[in-house]
Amino acid sequence: MLPKILNLKDLVPTINSLHESGKRVVFTNGCFDILHVGHIRYLATAKDHGDILVVGLNSDESVKRIKAKGRPIVSQDQRAEVLAALWFVDYITIFNEPDPLILIQTLKPNVLVKGADWPEEKIIGADFVKANGGRVVRIEVIPQISTSRIIRRIVNRYQEPSSLDT
């Protein structure tokens, strides 16, 4: 396992130490199934809101429960490794629950980030973060870019008759 990818038990002392040293911890979460430019811009912008960016990554089981049939496309270990390769991502922790509330309550981030497609009142953990003196940031998403759209485009392209079929 890469040093950026930690289970929650191993991540907690690191994050506690960072809090104690005055670092602003930013937390976001997602499936990040097929990494695309929307993810890159979102995560880079999230990092701008603090010193340390922690990504809660939905496990394969969690993705299966919350996404369409056939997801995830990429395994959790591979998704975590790709995220770890990004310079602006400091830590990744994989979670099995359908939402990241336990991670948020355990890590106590200073900043909670979600896409602007989520109204603040629907953001899991927003109340907890604000009650503990933190803030919630909603980042604009790039229209027309999503993993689901990429998957649909691939499927549609390969379902059309091709000149290679003749």
Distances (CA, A) of 30 to 57, 132, 163, 166: 5, 23, 38, 42
Quick check: is 32 in a domain? yes
Assessment of whether the complete model's pTM goes beyond 0.85: yes
Q: What is the DSSP-derived secondary structure letter of residue 87?
A: T
Q: How far apart are CA 24 and CA 53, in angstroms?
A: 9
Quick check: is 3 in a domain? no
Q: How far apart are CA 43 and CA 37, in angstroms?
A: 10
pLDDT digits (tens, 9 = 90+) for 87-141: 999 999 999 998 999 999 999 999 999 999 889 999 999 999 999 999 999 999 8
Counting the structural domains of the chain, the total is 1
Which amino acid makes up residue 75? S
Domain of 160, CATH number, reads 3.40.50.620
pLDDT digits (tens, 9 = 90+) for 125-140: 999 999 999 999 999 9
